[in-house]
Amino acid sequence: FTDVDGDGDDDIAGGVNVGIVNGTENSATVSISTTASAWNLLGNPFVSTIDADQLFSDNSNYTSTVYVYDDANSQYNTWNGSAGDLSNGLIAPYQGFWILSGSSGTTFQFTSSCKSSSIGTFYKTMNDSSGSVAFQLSSGSYNSTVYLSFNIDALEGIDNADAYKLLPMSPSERVVGISYAEGNGLDISNLPYSHDGSISIPLDVMYLTLDDDYNFVTNENDVTMTWDISSLPGHVSLTLTDNVTGSAVNLTEESEITFSTEAKGSFPAYGSGGVNIYPQVGESRFTLTVAYSALTSNDEPANLPGTFALHPAYPNPFNPSTTISFDIPPESRYVVSLQLYDIKGQLVETLINEVLPAGNHSIQWNPQNLASGLYIVQLKTGQKIFKQKITFIK
């Protein structure tokens, strides 16, 4: 707040005033005008935590990635719906974040359904075609993470769920990991869930210090890299090749490597605009080879549902909660809306309002503060509407 000119020094005498905010929370949709094809700084307008995944569903004219600045670690935390540093894509009340708009991205909407408190416990889809990998880097007290995500609608090159690796607002000494696609530095590289053959990804690791002219300078330093492949799809294998030593590691057979970074020049720590992407400096230290094999029944179940269906809630009557299950067939790209109404037809709660993958889905509903009585479950997708009655007994 106090660094007006962005040079790292406080320009305003005194501290930032902190006070208590009183009033009524926004309940209606909040619409914010944005600049098309540009970085836009937005903020959670609610006193409730919001879910970035729901923001992506409600705002199709924007990339499916959010960037929240972590001042304590002088870096951006990202989320693309499958991977990232931002825990489960949750954005705290009044928290600011950056998002990149598309050519038609002129109005960003915060609907009441994006509040995480209004969303039930959404169980993992049985036929979920996605995955992720995290590479953790550490050098002394400095840490960095770079991610892969796997999704059915991802591209081999840049797509809306790729997250760029952004330069920090306050440059300082650090270790940084970056993958690249089409020359763009990435924090999250979003890759196809299925693919013919393999994909090669440049993966660089740099140890950076800051000179007097505010340039990042690459240095030699020991770094340890570990990886979490617990969410790697079963039909995908990863090989990490060191472009300096020529050694190759199968990531399923090893858990970490230690190496020394290289000194290979410098680059400006500040870009020309407010949001800037890390540049590519020389050759990347590693090449990550992502190899795909044929999908098996464990990767893509053969018994996908053939039609939309809403199954009877269980238990019913219920106290304190019931599970609502439904089916989504393949080739469906409709927004799925699952809502609860009272007997008077008034909307009580929106549980889901997003595009879902094919498969069998279930969600647990716990009314908590609602009165006992009859409620209507409505599942809507495309032109199809399904309804059923459930009874809540306290």
pLDDT tens string 86-108: 888 889 999 999 999 999 999 99
Position 365 in a domain: yes
Q: Mean of the pLDDT values across residues 226-234?
A: 91
Are 114 and 198 in a shared domain?
no
pLDDT recorded at residue 297: 52
Please give the mean pLDDT across all residues of the chain. 87
Are 286 and 153 in a shared domain?
yes
Are 56 and 203 in a shared domain?
no
Residue 93, C-beta contacts closer than 8 angstroms, at least 6 positions apart: 44, 46, 47, 48, 49
Taking the CB of residue 182, how many other CB atoms lie within 10 A of it? 9
Position 115 in a domain: yes
Are 261 and 167 in a shared domain?
yes
Residue 140: which pLDDT band, with cuts at 50, 70 and 90? very high
Contact yes or no for 171/210 (Cβ under 8 A):
yes
Are 208 and 330 in a shared domain?
no
Are 319 and 238 in a shared domain?
no
CATH number reported for the structural domain that contains residue 358 in this entry: 2.60.40.1930
Residue 353, C-beta contacts closer than 8 angstroms, at least 6 positions apart: 54, 57, 58, 111, 113, 335, 336, 337, 338
Evaluate if residue 41 carries a pLDDT over 80. yes
pLDDT recorded at residue 18: 64
Position 141 in a domain: yes
pLDDT recorded at residue 53: 87
Contact yes or no for 301/247 (Cβ under 8 A):
no
Say what percent of the chain tops pLDDT 70.
87
β-strand partners of 363: 122, 324
Contact yes or no for 156/220 (Cβ under 8 A):
no
pLDDT recorded at residue 382: 79
Q: Mean of the pLDDT values across residues 357-363?
A: 81
Position 4 in a domain: no
- CA–centroid distance for 316 within its chain: 35
Position 300 in a domain: no
Q: Name the domain count of the chain.
A: 3
Evaluate if residue 70 carries a pLDDT over 90. yes
For residue 137, the 8-state DSSP code is: E
Are 203 and 138 in a shared domain?
yes
pLDDT recorded at residue 119: 41
Are 181 and 270 in a shared domain?
yes
**Residue carrying the six token digits 């996908």:** 304
Q: Mean of the pLDDT values across residues 170-182?
A: 97
pLDDT recorded at residue 280: 96
Position 238 in a domain: yes
Among candidate residues 133, 129, 145, the one with its CA nearest the CA of residue 229? 133
Domain end call among 238, 262, 292: 292
pLDDT recorded at residue 123: 42
Q: Mean of the pLDDT values across residues 64-85?
A: 93
pTM for the full model?
A: 0.74
Lowest mean pLDDT among 124-128, 196-200, 281-285: 124-128
Domain hosting 329: range is: 309-392
pLDDT recorded at residue 125: 46
Are 93 and 151 in a shared domain?
no
Are 315 and 384 in a shared domain?
yes
Are 240 and 135 in a shared domain?
yes
What three-state secondary structure class fits 54? helix
pLDDT recorded at residue 357: 75
Evaluate if residue 62 carries a pLDDT over 60. yes
Position 353 in a domain: yes
Are 246 and 325 in a shared domain?
no
Position 81 in a domain: yes
Domain end call among 58, 92, 120: 120
Say what percent of the chain tops pLDDT 90.
61
Domain end call among 292, 327, 354: 292
Residue 234: which pLDDT band, with cuts at 50, 70 and 90? confident
Evaluate if residue 84 carries a pLDDT over 70. yes
